[in-house]
Amino acid sequence: MKIKAVLSTPFYVNLLASFILTSTVTQVHARLIIPEYKDYNLKHTQSESSIKSEALSKESVIVYTEQNNPCDKPLLTKGNLVRQPDFNSLDSWRGYYTTGVKVSQSKQIKKCGIDYQVVISNRNNYYDGIIQKIKPNLNTTKEYTFQANLKLNNSEVKDFGLAALALKNDLGIVYYQYLAVDQISSDDKTLTGMFKVNALSEIKQSYLLLFGPKGDKELVIDEVKIAEVDDNNPDPNTLFKHDFETDNAGWLPAWLTASPEISAMQAKSGGFSLYVKDRDHWYSGVKLPITQWFSEKKKYTLSLSALLSTGTSQAQKLSLQLYYVDDEGAHWQRVNSTSISVVEQWVDIATDFIIKPQGTLKKAEIYVFGPDKKVDFFLDDITLTQQDADPGDGGKPGDGGKPGDGDKPDDGDKPGDGDKPGDGDKPGDGDKPGDGDKPGDGDKPGDGDKPGDGDTSGSGLFEKMTSAQCIDGQYQESQRANPQVDIKGILSSHNPNASVSVLSKTVTAALEKRYPFGAEILSQAPNSSGQKCLTYWMQRAKSTWGDLPTSELFHGADLSVHECGHGLSHKLSGWSTQALPLSKGTTPVCPVRGPYKYPPLYNLQHDKFSKDVPNNHYDSTYINKGSPVGKQGWESVIDEAVQYSHSLAIGYAFHDYTTYGSDADGALSFAWYIQRYLYFLHHNNPDIYQEILSNACWREAILKLWGKIWMYEDLALALDEPKNHDNLTSENTQRFIKAIQRPELMAEIEAVRKAHQCN
């Protein structure tokens, strides 16, 4: 900063004193230039009184320079959503996650002034770092860039640095989205990335987390930035353009044994393309959720470039298909089918299409597949643009001037019906519903080998996690949740802003159709705060989420059954017994020691298994020493597990209406807690351990609950839904399953089976 003035001394004195009093800078370096005293220098800490005492009565010229101010970095601060990105202050940052993490400033003197960094020390785990709440909240429709400088403090051994978002939605669910990961050393390393927020419902709060190296290493961070991507006024009609230079742009596996990945082996432009490999079927390929971009008033152009992998012996067909769900149900629409030659040359494809949903468009996905199984292929430069639909262009579904575009019955709502009915070479061509050898014959491609088609364990997970010789592997429900039951009539007059009484009736009617035991729980549960249990919890749902469209309505149903299930369990329990309403006709009532007579659940918080699923958001509520539930024991973990099994069943039953959540993870988390609690008792409280295993009621309750959870996990995981429309699973789901499968934990379930004398 510079101040130049040719003024009377009193004005100079008052001006400088005012600046000092309002500044946070305590050390002032000033050069006072007076014509009569050219060599006079003043360099010391100034106060208003000292300035006045040294003021001269002559007119003066003063040049004031701040040499000890923080470095000015305009490129860092421009458009930055991160507060205090250069750590000139730590007011907006705090340590995370372990208690005792120390956050402090370090500084370097540079030509620009002081350059601050933050040092995170006293770290115990790799996820210990710093956190900041992002204000304003991130926009789910925007694309952002991220960068941060990370390094290790005085360490010669390289490690990893990570950046992630912690996102809290309107259900209170916290989940994580990783932004960048890279190897770091004692030299500065800039982590960078581009991202869109992975929105599971409405995002209420967003946090930035920076962490990564092993817990015994100090982490140094500087120059953190999150900013909206500046596309230099891009064409508003270009919805997306994916060149795969940095990531897979959100494309997901569709009936693949391996996820699509970016590859440098081939590229139409730039250095990378999307590699689709390990294909077990001709319909194995990739898909992209595109619901948010569609309007029935628009016509769309999808363009891409495709190339077959080296060694393919004959030409292959590449098929572009649109899958969408509206008020009439699920539909397939062929967008394009093109022959790709074996010549190693990229083929450019561009095709127009429209979509005419009946009522509300609930889901839309674009699929790319078609070549014979085992034939890999590459995709590049995928672009979707929009323009206003021509008058009359949408008079018939898929009306694009091509055979099979939807202008004949059954011609456009299932792929492959275009040129030859039932030709069997495209999804939906099977002439027998659910015949199992073609995708799209039932309610989803590949039906007949997945739950929902009449078989109970198509994915194989139920058989893997249970024993067919014991009651867990023989578990069945006479009123199993069934998402195929038609409830359109019940929802036809649904008003999201209806009264709680009306909403409660709608929930009850839908549950009676798709998960009858959930309706039974609601009808038998005791009142809450003087109201019917369902009324009370639906009122809570309405006050929390506002209007309740169908997506929110069934989250309200989940909440109500879960909490009313606790109430019913308490109602049926006694002073020394605990009731577990598990399913129709199955309510074990087992002996308990009483409140706080079992070792507390917080013993699991830092056991040797906890790191298998890091940052499990259920931990903070249920096994945290500082939470009320964490102080409870066996009676709490088994009761919560039962209620989460109902949440899982409801999530599965209404998966076609809800588009976010993690009900599978809730049930998996408690299956894991039960194993870990039994393991803890086995090694620390063998008397209580034997008390549980020697009781037939507890053995039956544990094994039937285990069977119920894996029956519905099997059904849930077999559903083929895109991640941002998946109301059941999350990125942690596979981590949970792997953690549960640890031999020493599976041994605890096997011990229950053995005690139950299963053959």
Pick the CATH number of 74-228 from 3.40.1180.10, 2.60.120.260, 2.130.10.10, 1.10.1760.20: 2.60.120.260
**What is the spatial distance between Cα 751 and Cα 745, in angstroms, rounded to a whole number?**
10
User: What pLDDT is stored for residue 586 in this prediction?
Assistant: 93
**Closest Cα to residue 181, out of 191, 190, 173?**
191
Spatial strand order in the sheet of 316-326: 252-254, 285-289, 363-369, 316-326, 329-340
Q: Which residue has the tokens 């292929």?
A: 377
Dump pLDDT digits (tens) for 68-108.
688 888 778 888 999 999 999 898 999 988 778 899 999 88
Question: What is the SS3 assignment for 410?
Answer: coil
User: Which regions in the chain score pLDDT beneath 70?
Assistant: 1-68, 156, 230-236, 257, 296-297, 388-459, 529, 595, 659-662, 720-730, 759
User: What pLDDT is stored for residue 659 in this prediction?
Assistant: 65
Residues in the chain: 759
User: What pLDDT is stored for residue 730 in this prediction?
Assistant: 67
Mapped to the 3 state alphabet, what secondary structure does 578-608 carry?
A: EECCCECCECCEEECCCCCCCCCHHHHCCCC
Mapped to the 3 state alphabet, what secondary structure does 184-237 carry?
A: ECCCCEEEEEEEECCCCCCEEEEEEEEECCCCCCCEEEEEEEEEECCCCCCCCC
For residue 494, give the amino acid letter.
H
User: What pLDDT is stored for residue 721 in this prediction?
Assistant: 63
* Token duo for residue 121: 């020390």
User: What pLDDT is stored for residue 215 in this prediction?
Assistant: 78
For residue 180, give the amino acid letter.
A
What 79-83 contacts at long range (C-beta under 8 Å, 24+ apart), as own/partner pairs, is 79/227, 79/228, 79/230, 80/225, 80/226, 80/227, 81/134, 81/135, 81/136, 81/138, 81/144, 81/226, 81/227, 82/132, 82/134, 82/208, 82/224, 82/225, 82/226, 83/132, 83/135
**What is the spatial distance between Cα 120 and Cα 434, in angstroms, rounded to a whole number?**
57
* Token duo for residue 706: 């285990």
Cα distances (angstroms) measured from residue 506 to each of 21, 328, 400, 460, 486: 65, 19, 40, 35, 14
The reply to whether domains 74-228 and 238-388 share a CATH topology is yes
Contact between 656 and 483 (Cβ < 8 Å): yes
Dump pLDDT digits (tens) for 249-277.
889 898 876 778 888 888 888 778 999 99
User: What pLDDT is stored for residue 729 in this prediction?
Assistant: 64
**What is the spatial distance between Cα 515 and Cα 657, in angstroms, rounded to a whole number?**
14
User: What pLDDT is stored for residue 15 in this prediction?
Assistant: 34
**Closest Cα to residue 649, out of 605, 707, 603, 731?**
707
Q: Which residue has the tokens 């839904």?
A: 721
Q: For residue 370, what is the enclosing H or E element? A: none
**What is the spatial distance between Cα 737 and Cα 672, in angstroms, rounded to a whole number?**
9
CATH fold label, 238-388: Jelly Rolls (2.60.120)
Calculate the CA dihedral of residues 503, 507, 512, 518 and round it to 10 degrees.
-130
* Token duo for residue 277: 């490999």
Please report the DSSP string for 519-548 in residue order: HHHHHHSPPBTTB-HHHHHHHHHHHHHSS-
Q: Which residue has the tokens 């699920």?
A: 330
**What is the spatial distance between Cα 531 and Cα 536, in angstroms, rounded to a whole number?**
6
Ordered by start, the domain boundaries in the chain are 6-64, 74-228, 238-388, 457-479+593-759, 480-572
